[in-house]
Amino acid sequence: MTAEIRQTVNRSVLIVGASRGLGEAIVEEYVARGAHAVGTVRGETATPLHEFAARAGDSVEIEQVDIDHPDQIDSLAARLAGRQFDLLFVVAGISLAPMEDIAVQISTQDFSRMMVTNALGVMRAVEALHGLVSPTGTIAVMSSGQGSISDNTQAGFEVYRATKSALNQLMRSYAVRHAEDARAILLMAPGWVKTTLGGPQARLEISDSIPPLVDTVDAQRGIPGLQYLDRNGATIPW
């Protein structure tokens, strides 16, 4: 959390994949900046988002969706019909293989699960929910610097990288199909952050990543078209 809290231009935000980790921290950061947040979880069990919501009162609503299941995405869209958000941010993602494994070491099932969640599921959520975003709002998804093909000089996380490259490509197609859209469309890279997914060896704390990332998302409001940005607003090469 920043020492000096700014007010956000995104007053109403929908964060998909907010039970814990970066998504939960994004909810907290937006609420601290004066926004109303709807955050989604997958299951029935209590999560860090539930703990925050209990403290935050009316500023937070909890919704439920597993983006691996199209019927659940459709149900969420139906429940939220008629609402308008300044920002849709799909943060959900998984990694099922250790850093050092090469791609062919993963099971076919885990490869498919990662692609379904990180690429197809994210796009299904974007396609089903983008109508809820105001005409001058922002549609963001959590990519990763690992999704950059030209920056891949070290290998590692091979399947995870591939899922984020696939997500980038799919979002690019989405942006081409919506070339006349006035909304900002963002692929965000938070840096390597200590979460369950990032692991304890990651370089950044959540508090190093999320405040600047939210600053960057807010700064893109009203700038139409697709950008692939790191948390500090620098363009990442494809």
Provide the residue type at 187 as one letter.
L
Q: How many CA atoms lie within 13 A of 206 on its CB side?
A: 15
Given candidates 12, 19, 168, 216, which one binds ligand NAP under the rule CB under 6 A? 19
**C-alpha to C-alpha distance for 93 and 100, rounded to whole angstroms:** 19
Q: Should residue 129 be labelled a site residue for ligand NAP when binding is judged by CB under 6 A?
A: no
48-87 burial, b for 16+ CB within 10 Å, e for fewer? bbeebbeebeebbebbebbbbeeebbeebbeebeeeebbb
Helix (H, G, I), strand (E, B) or coil at 91: coil
Q: Should residue 112 be labelled a site residue for ligand NAP when binding is judged by CB under 6 A?
A: no
Looking at 2-10, 50-58, 66-74, 223-231, which segment touches ligand NAP (CB under 6 A)?
66-74
**C-alpha to C-alpha distance for 233 and 216, rounded to whole angstroms:** 5
Given candidates 15, 23, 86, 210, which one binds ligand NAP under the rule CB under 6 A? 23
**C-alpha to C-alpha distance for 89 and 184, rounded to whole angstroms:** 12
136 vs 196 by CB, closer to ligand NAP: 196
Q: Should residue 202 be labelled a site residue for ligand NAP when binding is judged by CB under 6 A?
A: yes
22 vs 175 by CB, closer to ligand NAP: 22
Q: Should residue 168 be labelled a site residue for ligand NAP when binding is judged by CB under 6 A?
A: no
Least CB distance to ligand NAP at residue 136 (A): 26
Given candidates 87, 142, 213, 229, which one binds ligand NAP under the rule CB under 6 A? 142
Q: Should residue 97 be labelled a site residue for ligand NAP when binding is judged by CB under 6 A?
A: no
Q: Should residue 94 be labelled a site residue for ligand NAP when binding is judged by CB under 6 A?
A: yes
DSSP 197: T
